[in-house]
Amino acid sequence: MTRDDDQRPASADGDDQLLVLPDELRDELKEPMGPIETDADRLLEAVDGPLIAVGDIVTYHLLQAGRRPDVALVDGRTKRSAVDEEIREAVTSGASIEVRNPPAELSAPVVRALRRALSTAEPTTVLVDGEEDLVALPAIAAAPEGASVVYGQPDEGMVHVVVTDDDRTAMRELLERFEGDTDRFWALLDG
């Protein structure tokens, strides 16, 4: 397993921090960005293209339904608590990239890992030390047309976004409202 954040040294000024979620966007992000599905088999019937899963429980349900996501981002936690050992083992098996990403942030290592995972033909699991929730946003912004980005909606199910140009534009506009170095963020994400 490679550690993406070890490939480039962090500077004393927080080189790895790119974007921080501002408080005024927190409520807005609680709204699902697509339809909510509770049945992984039914969700997979609507998948026609690359599958990107954000979250341990989502990834686990997709694996249980017989589909390994093309890109999975997991952190070993759900609703701020550790996932069961069975789930942790299933979703981290074969993890190929490990990165740090603090809660309520998007760090340079996680953006580089997402970019690399999206560009490889092999299924890639990114194990995040910290929190992976916000990575759904750049995943939607960077995913190809027709890709499925699936993330968890706590206590409701799995949100399924079939990526369109409109979705990518909306995510770009949303991410522009984050605090931090948006120019560097886009340079890393757009590669």
Instruction: Return d(Cα 179, Cα 153) in angstroms, integer.
Output: 24
Q: Binding residue per annotation — 6? A: no
Q: Binding residue per annotation — 86? A: no
Q: Binding residue per annotation — 41? A: no
| Residue (of 182, 92, 161, 170) closest to 132 by Cα position | 92
Q: Binding residue per annotation — 167? A: no
Q: Binding residue per annotation — 140? A: no
Q: Which long-range contacts does 76-83 make (Cβ < 8 Å, 24+ apart)?
A: 76/127, 77/131, 78/152, 79/154, 83/56, 83/57
> Which tokens belong to 141?
């912004």
Instruction: Give the max Cα distance, the chain.
Output: 48
Q: Binding residue per annotation — 15? A: no
Which residue positions form the known binding site for GTP? 56-58, 75, 132, 155
Which residue positions form the known binding site? 56-58, 75, 132, 155
